[in-house]
Structure 1
């Protein structure tokens, strides 16, 4: 048994689930007018509501996933869950975020493939980088004189 009452070391219970308090506090502060403060208890309640919302959506998405005999919850399952639970107004923004995420993934893959397409080993690229640094230092030093 751990130092927390009733926790046996198995999967985390609902009491163990949370969101970063500083991040949530920052988001709340950004959304509120400057002359309005948010009490700690209110921030904690917002966190509890967010965790419950995430739990609700993920449970619904898991059921959809199981009905489709899938083993991994896909973004489409989340969107279907949102619609099924009456959160249709969220789906457009979720789809926009998903689209941005996929674009960022493609850009990362392009960077990796540029390395692969260079045809150079990591050591050769390291040597070229050191040569560029040396040339830059020499140019900087000559400008200083």
Structure 2
């Protein structure tokens, strides 16, 4: 585990892109402001992770879940973040489900193709 907040900073390019996307086009942010926002975001993530970790420990789990983060947001009174987070989690789960279904479908198609190839090879061996 990191000993200092500075050890756990978010990537500056990512923070800069988030800042740019959040502001109108004609607004520019100074380097010192970007650094301050990056540090603040890192501290917020650490604070929220700590609270979510406590929630997981209360339920005797070692793995943080989305519901732990939502509960942490409620406890920390960041209610305005809960609905957007729930939407993102729902979208993530749906995408994950679609990906798994697609992978399963591809495996099924591959299995069918392999069976057909085996049948063809057997037919050729038997002189058909």
TM over 0.5: yes
The two structures have a TM-score, normalised by structure 1, of 0.72
Rounded to whole Å, the distance in 2 between the matches of 1:18 and 1:102 is 27
Alignment correspondent of 2:124:
none
Alignment correspondent of 1:29:
20
The two structures have a TM-score, normalised by structure 2, of 0.81
Alignment correspondent of 1:12:
2
Alignment correspondent of 2:39:
48
Alignment correspondent of 2:123:
none
Alignment correspondent of 1:110:
101
Offset of residue 57 of structure 1: 0.7
Say whether 1:59 aligns with 2:50. yes
Unaligned runs of 5+ in 2: 118-128
Say whether 1:78 aligns with 2:53. no
Alignment correspondent of 1:39:
30
Rounded to whole Å, the distance in 1 between the matches of 2:15 and 2:6 is 18
User: What is the SS of the residue equivalent to 1:101?
Assistant: helix
Cα RMSD (Å)? 1.4
The answer to which structure, 1 or 2, has the higher relative contact order (CA under 8 A, 6+ apart) is: 2
Rounded to whole Å, the distance in 2 between the matches of 1:23 and 1:77 is 24
Unaligned runs of 5+ in 1: 1-10, 125-145
